[in-house]
C-alpha cells in the first residue's frame, strides 16, 4: 500500500514529540482558519480586501479611529461566534504531555485560551483587550458594542484602542525574552499556521534551529519556514495535529 507521503512526515513529527518533554509552539492565523476566522495573506486573506495602512497602524487610528474600531468590532464579532477547532484542542492535549510547554501565538483571537491551553503568550496582543491611546491603561472587556454607540474612552479622557500590536509598533519585550529563554532549553519547536513573513516572530524558526531544536512545520502551503525545518507537514492543522497525536503513545 503506497504510504501517503504525509504519513512519513507525520510519523517523524510524532517521533520528535515522543522524544522530548519540552515543547515550544508558535502559531499564526492558519490555526484559526478552520474556526472560520479569516487569515491575513491566504487566498481570502484580510490584507487582500483591506489596506493595512488604513486599519492596523497607529497613524490609521489617529486619522480615523471610528473606522479602525468598526473593523476590529467586525473581527471581534466573527471571533466571538467562532469556536476553537481540532488543532487548538490537539495543542491542549500536547501541552498536557509535556513537562515544559510554551505556546507563542501571533493570533489575537483568544482561541488557544478558550480551548484550554494554559501556557500561552500573545505576542501581538488580544483583540478583546483595550489600551488607552495616551496613558496606556489596559481594560479587559468583551463588550462588542457597535461603533455608533460612541468610541470607548479611558478615565483619563483619551480614546481607548484595541490592545493589539500594529505595524510599526514593538512587540512586548517580556514575552519575546521569555520565548528566547524557553528556546534555550526546549527540545522541539512546532510552527503551525503561520506564513513566517512578519518579523520579529518570523526570526524564531532560525533561532530554534541554531539552538539545536528539532523543528516541525504544519502548513498546507510552503513558506520560508518550510526551507529550514526538519519536518514540514503539508496539511491543515485540524487534520495534521490530531494525526500526529494518534502516533504518540498514551
In the complex, which residues of this chain contact ligand APR (CB under 6 A)?
A: 28-31, 33-34, 39-42, 45, 106, 124, 193-195, 198, 218-221, 223, 236-238
Choice between 90 and 186, CB closer to ligand APR: 90
Q: Active-site residue 112, yes or no?
A: no
Task: Name which of 28 and 84 has its Cβ closer to ligand APR.
Answer: 28
Give the residue with the Cβ less far from ligand APR, 53 or 146.
53
Residue 173 beta carbon to ligand APR: minimum distance, rounded to whole angstroms? 17
Helix/strand/coil (H/E/C) assignment for every residue in the chain: CCCCHHHHHHHHHHHHHHCCCEEEEEECCHHHHCCCCCCCCCCCCHHHHCCHHHHCCHHHHHHCHHHHHHHHHHHHHHHHHCCCCHHHHHHHHHHHHCCEEEEEECCCCCHHHHHCCCCEEECCEEEEEEEECCCCCEEECCCCCCHHHCCCECCCCCEEEEEECCCCCCCCHHHHHHHHHHHHHCCEEEEECCCCCCCCHHHHHHHHHHCCCEEEEECCCCCHHHHCCCEEECCCHHHHHHHHHHCCCC
CB of residue 167 vs ligand APR: minimum separation in angstroms?
A: 8
Which one of 88, 89, 112, 124 is the catalytic residue?
124
Question: In angstroms, what is the minimal distance from the CB of 165 to ligand APR?
Answer: 7
The residues assigned a catalytic role are: 124
Amino acid at each position: 500500500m503506497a504510504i501517503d507521503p504525509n504519513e512519513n512526515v507525520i510519523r517523524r513529527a510524532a517521533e520528535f514529540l515522543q522524544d522530548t518533554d519540552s515543547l515550544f509552539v508558535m502559531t499564526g492565523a492558519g490555526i484559526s482558519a478552520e474556526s472560520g476566522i479569516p487569515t491575513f495573506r491566504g487566498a481570502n486573506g484580510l490584507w487582500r480586501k483591506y489596506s493595512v495602512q488604513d486599519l492596523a497602524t497607529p497613524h490609521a487610528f489617529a486619522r480615523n479611529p471610528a473606522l479602525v474600531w468598526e473593523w476590529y468590532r467586525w473581527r471581534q464579532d466573527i471571533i466571538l461566534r467562532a469556536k476553537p477547532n481540532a488543532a487548538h484542542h490537539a495543542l491542549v492535549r500536547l501541552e498536557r504531555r509535556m513537562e515544559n510547554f510554551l505556546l507563542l501565538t501571533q493570533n489575537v483571537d483568544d482561541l488557544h485560551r478558550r480551548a484550554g491551553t494554559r501556557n500561552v503568550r500573545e505576542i501581538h496582543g488580544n483583540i478583546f483587550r483595550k489600551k488607552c491611546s495616551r496613558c496606556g491603561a489596559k481594560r479587559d472587556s468583551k463588550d462588542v458594542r457597535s461603533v455608533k454607540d460612541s468610541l470607548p474612552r479611558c478615565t483619563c479622557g483619551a480614546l481607548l484602542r484595541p490592545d493589539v500590536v500594529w505595524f510599526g509598533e514593538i512587540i512586548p519585550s517580556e514575552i519575546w525574552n521569555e520565548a528566547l529563554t524557553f528556546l534555550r532549553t526546549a527540545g522541539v519547536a512546532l510552527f503551525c499556521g503561520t506564513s513566517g513573513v512578519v518579523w520579529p516572530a518570523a526570526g524564531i524558526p532560525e533561532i530554534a534551529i541554531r539552538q539545536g531544536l528539532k523543528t516541525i512545520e504544519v502548513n498546507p502551503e510552503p513558506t520560508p519556514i518550510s526551507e529550514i525545518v526538519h519536518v514540514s507537514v503539508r496539511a491543515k492543522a485540524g487534520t495534521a495535529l490530531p494525526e500526529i497525536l494518534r502516533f504518540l503513545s498514551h
